[in-house]
Structure 1
Amino acid sequence: MSNEPCRINIDVSIMKLTQPEDRRELDESEIHNVLRNDRRRETLRYLRESEGSLSVDDLSEHIATLETSESPPPRNVRKSVYVSLHQTHLPKLDDLGIVAYDQRSKELTLEDRVREVEVYMEVVPQHDVSWAAYYLGLGALELVVLFAAKLSLFSVEILDFEFWTWFFLALFVLSALYHIYSEQEKALF
């Protein structure tokens, strides 16, 4: 035996596997890839509603109910949803750092990186109008009314041009305040 010190070579690639992932911002293509799938979008939305934590079983039940419009959903659909979430969608969200997915306990929690995705998730219910469409409509209505008031059309001249200007300014400000308030309630964090 030699008295030389023992040398240990550490493979750097193995160390990279145990270190936290690169915390760069998600690029738009990654975010769009996440959001183009209905089940991933619904996962993020439902986690937000559940105050950021829930089990895969509850999530599977919820998504299967949405997809089938049956409560409780058929067992085979619930199982199919569970398998696709467990094998594909949740690991993807976990790898990107958007959701923490514990595969042993089958529990999910939202991560801080979900804020990067939230910007792209203006969730508009089926029979609702987006804020962008609302503001566009309000602006178009204001233009029509102010134009009509200026030209004394459609009995709009009963109230003068200055009234309509202040009215729509106040309406825009109140709308913006309500928009800010409602978005804070829906914020993921």
Structure 2
Amino acid sequence: MSKAQRSNGQVSSVGGPEFSNDELLEVLSNQRRRFTIHYLKQRKGEHVSVSELTDWVASWENDTEIEALTHQERKRVRNALRQFHLPKMDDHGFIEYDARRGTVTLTDEAADANFYVDSLTGGDIPWGIYYLGLSAFCGLCLLGYWAGLFPFTLVEPFTWSVFVLTALTISSVGHFYDNYYRMRLGAREKPPEVDEG
């Protein structure tokens, strides 16, 4: 599995052909390029016009509906995509960009890979801190029972075991769902960084 660290989270590609850490950092370090991959993943190999891609990227970037975008917002994104982002993504093998026709599509390699962006928004707690807290709580309960302290002795060891197993199972299912659905580019209508609310 390839992984690359970013300042506000982690990006990685899982499954399919590997992209190098440098390629992942280079391409996924920019929000417009992440939005581009997200949209192209949703289109499942279709050729998309740069104009259509521009509308969606600008919409997500400005947190507004496509119909409400100004000419200037569209122009700024379109120029940046055409002149910089799309050629760079093409050079690194993530997309096929036909500047003459004004179309773009994911390469087979990028279409087969899953890209995850760990983006914390609002009151989200990182999974590592969540599991640390859960472990500390379960450890405190175990120590309290072992030391014979009230109220920990009110619960039998089997009940503690069922509680810990249930907590870990629910947490693991939630973590899997969060990784596979919320943080995977192309999995939802909007990219991970854009608030669905």
Partner of 1:39: 32
Q: 1:122 aligns with which of 117, 125, 128?
A: 117
- Following the alignment from structure 1 to structure 2, what is the Cα–Cα distance between the partners of residues 79 and 94? 21
- Following the alignment from structure 2 to structure 1, what is the Cα–Cα distance between the partners of residues 127 and 42? 20
* 8 Å Cα contact 1:64-1:77 kept in structure 2: yes
3-state DSSP class of the match of 1:108?
strand
Partner of 1:144: 140
Q: TM-score, with normalisation over the residues of structure 1?
A: 0.67
Q: 1:83 offset after TM fit, Å?
A: 1.0
Alignment of 1:77 with 2:73, yes or no, is yes
Q: 1:154 offset after TM fit, Å?
A: 6.2
Structure ranking higher on relative contact order (CA contacts 8 Å, 6+ apart): 2
- Following the alignment from structure 2 to structure 1, what is the Cα–Cα distance between the partners of residues 159 and 136? 17
Going from structure 1 to structure 2, the CA distance change for 1:174 and 1:26 (only over 3 Å counts) comes to same
- Matched residue type, 2:86: L
Q: 1:78 offset after TM fit, Å?
A: 0.8
Question: Which structure shows the bigger proportion of residues in strand conformation?
Answer: 2
Alignment of 1:63 with 2:41, yes or no, is no
Q: Which runs of 5+ in 1 are unaligned?
A: 1-23
3-state DSSP class of the match of 1:126?
coil
Partner of 1:29: 22
* 8 Å Cα contact 2:34-2:185 kept in structure 1: no
Going from structure 1 to structure 2, the CA distance change for 1:124 and 1:27 (only over 3 Å counts) comes to same
Q: 1:25 offset after TM fit, Å?
A: 4.5
Q: TM-score, with normalisation over the residues of structure 2?
A: 0.65
* 8 Å Cα contact 1:100-1:108 kept in structure 2: yes
3-state DSSP class of the match of 1:113?
helix
Alignment RMSD, CA only? 3.1
- Following the alignment from structure 1 to structure 2, what is the Cα–Cα distance between the partners of residues 37 and 188? 16
